[in-house]
């Protein structure tokens, strides 16, 4: 049973749902007076669960877009080079964007995507991440909307993977060290 690979549950499905609702309310509050659409950009694949739950808690017009980014580097050490594997579908020049991510770790991916979206002429770009792991931060970025701050442990579930697995767990847990 794959759930046997989980050492502890850090955030239950209910805790995640409550936090996602709260973030959605904050975003609604900040953007509701805006007449323009918000371009919500999910960073695949990790953000997929968070994205689909979050957008349903945002009570104003949003447009869906997605990006896939990969950071080069071996193992857990990132070289700092980020490559966009799937680009935006929309022309975001003059648009308000929110980048929706599962976890900000070193921050290298988000720093790159932030610069990239600004380079595409977006009017504003905010970052929304369910999890924040500040202990390993390298890039100096501001996360505008954050769910939970987490310790330096390897987390899986609710979109987060280890070697492509565990994304479908409904909660976020710590993987057993021997896995
Ligand atoms: P960074 O902020 O550029 O270092 O990269 C963030 C990405 O690293 C996230 O989108 C995840 O794909 C991955 N990542 C970082 N920490 C974890 C973790 O604890 N579990 C699973 N993936 C992680
Ligand atoms: Mg990710």
With CA atoms as reference, report the closest residue to 11 among 56, 53, 67. 53
Annotated catalytic residue within 87, 102, 105, 152? 105
Active site includes 105?
yes
Q: Based on the number of CB atoms within 10 Å of its own CB, is 44 exposed (0-12), middle (13-18) or buried (19 or more)?
A: middle
Distance CA 118, CA 141 (A): 14
pLDDT digits (tens, 9 = 90+) for 63-88: 999 999 987 654 455 567 899 999 99
Pocket test for ligand 1, best of 114, 130, 131, 160 (most atoms within 8 A of CB): 160
The list of the chain residues with pLDDT below 50 reads 74-75
Number of H helices, E strands in the chain: 3, 9
Give residue 84's pLDDT. 96
Closest CA to 17 of 50, 66, 62: 50
* Residues within 6 Å of ligand 1 by CB: 46, 71, 78, 101-110, 133, 154-156, 160
Give the helix ranges, DSSP H, for 37-168.
Answer: 48-55, 108-119
CA distance 147 to 104: 11
Closest atom of ligand 1 relative to the 111 alpha carbon? 3
pLDDT, position 79: 62
Alpha-carbon distance values, 47 to 52, 73, 119, 146, 147 (Å): 9, 21, 23, 13, 13
DSSP 8-state code for residue 79: -
Q: Look at residue 80 in the predicted model and tell me its pLDDT.
A: 72
Q: At 143, phi and psi to the nearest 5? A: -95, 115
């Amino acid at each position: 049973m794959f759930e046997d690979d989980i050492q502890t549950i850090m955030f239950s499905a209910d805790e995640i749902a409550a936090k996602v609702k709260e973030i959605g309310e904050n975003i609604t509050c900040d953007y509701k007076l805006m007449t323009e659409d918000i371009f919500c950009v999910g960073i695949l694949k990790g953000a997929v669960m968070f994205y689909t739950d979050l957008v349903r808690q945002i009570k104003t017009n949003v447009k869906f877009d997605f990006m896939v980014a990969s950071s080069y580097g071996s193992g857990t050490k990132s070289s700092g080079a980020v490559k966009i594997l799937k680009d935006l579908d929309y022309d975001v020049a003059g648009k308000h964007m929110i980048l929706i991510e599962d976890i900000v770790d070193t921050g290298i991916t988000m720093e790159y995507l932030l610069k990239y979206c600004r380079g595409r002429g977006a009017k504003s770009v905010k970052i929304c991440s369910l999890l924040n792991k500040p202990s390993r931060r390298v890039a100096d970025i501001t996360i505008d909307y954050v769910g939970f701050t987490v310790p330096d442990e390897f987390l899986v579930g609710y979109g987060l993977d280890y070697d492509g697995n565990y994304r479908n767990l409904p909660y976020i847990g710590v993987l057993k060290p021997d896995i």
